[in-house]
Amino acid sequence: MSWLGPIPIIATMNEHMDPEDDYVVITNAEEHMKMKAAARQKVSDETHAKLRALSRHLEQAKVSASRPSNIPTEQEHLSSMNDIEDTRMGLGKAINDAEGLLASKEAELLRLRDEERAFENMDVTSDHELDSTALRLQICRSLGFEPILDKHGNVAKILVRSESNEVHSVTFDGHQSDAYYTQMLWDLASH
């Protein structure tokens, strides 16, 4: 076949073709295609908007489902609870021990108060004779006078401790009066 062979076929077809009808069909097809593309674009945009909204919702759900960094993990929480329980048990034991000690101290206090009342009601002077000599000797020593006795139990001399912590010895030879010795002892004690 030659290159001119299809021309008669095209000429016969030309009679059946109406370019206006074809143009209208093509224009309608293009319009239909544009409407379909716009509808597809609208659906695509709506789908993308829904997808973005769902992605944000998913991220928020992930954040709310995850444990915040300032809250301990489950294992740390259990360990902390066990430590607190151990502390509570230790404190309970300490409280029980302290209450037991308190009860024993209260009982001892009651016993001591009873003893105190018994001692207050007791007449100690009737049970013992007061030794006035020992009492006088103690008073003299507290004032700084220390009597030295001879072998017969009489005062031979007195050691006098003065206010300046000097020690003086006064011998009683019987040549002076009691008033003289008294004055001399007080003078030595006050210097």
pLDDT at residue number 125 = 64
* The predicted structure's pLDDT at residue 155: 82
**Start-to-end C-alpha separation, the chain:** 166
**CA 54 centroid distance within chain:** 47
Using alpha carbons, list the distances in angstroms from residue 119 to 71, 109, 115. Answer: 66, 15, 6
Residue pointed to by tokens 């954040």 = 63
Instruction: Return the pLDDT at 51.
Output: 95
pLDDT beneath 50, residues of the chain:
none
pLDDT (tens digit per residue) in 27-63: 999 999 999 999 999 999 999 999 999 999 999 988 8
pLDDT at res. 87: 95
Q: Which residues are CB-neighbours of 100 under 8 A, at least 6 positions away? A: none
The per-residue pLDDT for 130 is: 62
